Each structure stands twice: as C-alpha cells, then as structure tokens.
Amino acid sequence: MEASRRVLFVCVENSFRSQIAEAYFNAYAPEGWAAVSAGIKPSESVHPNAVKLMLEEGIDISGKKPRLLDRELQEQADLAVIVCSGSQCPVVYAKKVLEWNIPDPAGMPLEEARKIRDEIKRRVLELVEFIKRRESRDK
C-alpha cells in the first residue's frame, strides 16, 4: 500500500541522524505512513558508523544516498522532525515541525554514537505510538 502520510527527518548532511531516524520510522511505521530524510548540505554518502550501528539493529542503510532538502519534500511532509542541534540546523517549512536537538554523532567513538542511535530509536518509537494513538482516537 502506498503511504499517504509522510514524516520528513532533517539534519545538516543527511548522513547520520536523519538517516537513522528515517530507517527506524520506516521499520515501525504506522499503517499509511512513511518517512524520508534530507539535509541542507548533503554529504556524499551515509556515514560508515551509521551503517554499522544500524546493521547491529538488523537494518541495512548502506544503499541510502543523502539528499538535498527542497521545497517539495517540505510541502509533502505531514510532519517534519529536525534532528540536529545548534545553529547550523535548517529552518523547515512543513505543516507541523518538531525539534529533537540531538548531538552530531559523526565525530564520536562508536560507543558514544551507539547511545545517540538508541536515543533516536526511543524518540522514533514514541512518535510512532503518538501517531497510532492520535489516529485511533480520530476514527
């Protein structure tokens, strides 16, 4: 079934946090929902530690390619989640925007980056539950 609702995860390079968030959301997405991710300065490839950490979870993101945040992605999003923290984070124009302020794990040792991955998973699962509760209430 084609997803009719979309979550957009956004950070700067779209190589770590937003890729992980997208992968988790799509793994646990409520029916009719899907996630995409993008960044304002996309890097060449997904960070190798992001790939490694997600493989530990049984999710392969090695084939993903960072993409540029454009107007169309923002307009199509029912919800946008800014996962980065700090002044480099983009401003996002979507129907609803959440800010998670997650530190950049790119320069961290794998152990520290794993904690960031786990925090992203926790927040994504909370978001999925929130969407499910809201949709069951609205039926």
* Domains and their CATH numbers in the chain: 5-138 (3.40.50.2300)
pLDDT at 2: 59
d(CA 73, CA 2): 17
Token output for 30: 């409520």
Above 90 in pLDDT, residue 89? no
Token output for 124: 């994504």
6: helix, strand or coil:
strand
pLDDT at 49: 97
**By the 8 A CB rule, do 62 and 33 touch?**
no
d(CA 74, CA 36): 10
The band of 15, judged by pLDDT with boundaries at 50, 70 and 90, is very high
Active site residues: 11, 84, 89
d(CA 30, CA 5): 10
pLDDT at 137: 83
Token output for 50: 């992001």
pLDDT at 1: 47
At 110, the amino acid letter reads L
pLDDT at 3: 65
Task: Record the pTM.
Answer: 0.95
Above 90 in pLDDT, residue 85? no
Mean pLDDT, all residues of the chain = 94
What integer is the mean pLDDT of 17-25? Answer: 98
- Give Cβ neighbours of residue 62 (< 8 Å, ≥ 6 apart): 46, 51, 55
What integer is the mean pLDDT of 56-83? Answer: 96
Token output for 96: 């609803």
**Any idea which of 53-57, 75-79, 87-91, 96-100 has the lowest mean pLDDT?**
87-91
